Copies of this chain bind each other. A is one copy, B any other.
């Protein structure tokens, strides 16, 4: 009997989407399955963004390595990041909880306190939900709705050869933080440890940064997505959706000093975490070359978040290439987080 474990997550999504795309010839669906959010047209100047993501106990979190507030915050943050990845404004959240009957009220109150804090930071209202008691694992499944101005939707599919590839913030810290939870007894520098664990446990969705990018519209910022599965995997999504290739420059990939300190302590290459680690929730985007400085300046001025150029979009037949620190070039190894593997 063939099981889902023999498929990858993305092959499975493609399989499930197959029967659907054919029937989705509807003018009220601007973007359907396959991007960070669906984009829906109810007839107003604002288009509706919709995305869903779940956090499962034992898979995405454990009650022993994160506080309940952190778990609640992150459950909403990963969805906020999907709204950011379309350039949108988050508006409304629906929270579906699957609870073991043994869940303590303190746990539930903590998760909800985290949800409310995160929601308030991003002017998001909790407008609905559902509770089911299930008996085994705690699951927090959130659907987030947002809005985006007509004509300003940024998808994964508009990158063109010659565009410059950029990323917000730094990469790899979440994976580094996870690794310190798995190897807790090494002599980490206290400040670096605190930083990478914060990056892992309470990622900051780049909502404001996404809004600035949306001002430029899809002819200037040509493709946008968030890095949830890891740079290599999400870059592969961008390239596939846009039908382009990429030259990625290792030397330019932004790494925080804290991550480098942790990596040294574990004797791991920090670039590996940055390329394949996942859960950074930074924004990855391509920009028409003439506008790179304007876009970077605008994001940095409005948000204080650094933006780094990390490569150039090229033709699809050139493939995905990684230029190494030694000047050599090799095909980019795509090795990101896959929930089914």
Which residues of A line the B interface, CB within 8 A? 1-5, 7, 9, 12-13, 15-16, 19-20, 23-24, 26, 28-29, 32-33, 37-38, 40, 42-46, 48, 50-54, 56, 58-60, 91-92, 94-96, 98-99, 101-106, 108-109, 112-113, 116, 120, 125-137, 139, 141, 143, 145, 147, 339-340
Contact = CB atoms under 8 A, between A and B. Distances in A.
Given A44-B44, A50-B92, A139 B98 contact: yes
Nearest to A141: B141
A28 B5 CA distance: 43
Given A50-B94, A101-B5, A141-B54, A33 B134 contact: no
25 contacts: A1-B104, A1-B106, A2-B105, A4-B108, A7-B105, A15-B109, A20-B125, A23-B125, A29-B127, A33-B126, A37-B128, A40-B92, A42-B44, A43-B46, A52-B95, A52-B141, A53-B130, A59-B132, A59-B133, A59-B134, A98-B139, A99-B340, A134-B137, A139-B139, A141-B141
Given A2-B104, A136-B136, 6 more contacts: A4-B104, A5-B101, A26-B125, A38-B94, A54-B98, A96-B96
A53 B95 CA distance: 10
Contacts of A33: 126-129
Interface of A is mostly: mixed
Contacts of A103: 3-4
A91 to B, nearest CB: 7
A107 to B, nearest CB: 9
B38 A92 contact: yes
Contacts of A45: 43
A5 B101 CA distance: 5
Q: What 4 A-B pairs have minimum CB-CB distances, sorted nearest first?
A: A44-B44, A38-B127, A143-B143, A43-B44
Contact of A339 (B4, B32, B132, B141): B132
A34 to B, nearest CB: 9
Chain copies in complex: 2
A94 B143 contact: yes
A145 B59 CA distance: 28
Contacts of A108: 4, 12, 16
Contact of A52 (B56, B113, B143, B340): B143
B104 A32 contact: no
Contacts of A105: 2-4, 7
Contacts of A141: 52, 54, 96, 98, 130, 139, 141
A31 to B, nearest CB: 8
A280 to B, nearest CB: 18
A127 B1 contact: no
Nearest to A33: B128
A65 to B, nearest CB: 17
B4 A133 contact: yes
Nearest to A31: B127
Given A103-B4, A125-B32, A133-B4, A42 B52 contact: no
A339 B130 CA distance: 10
A125 B108 CA distance: 33
Contact of A50 (B23, B128, B135): B128
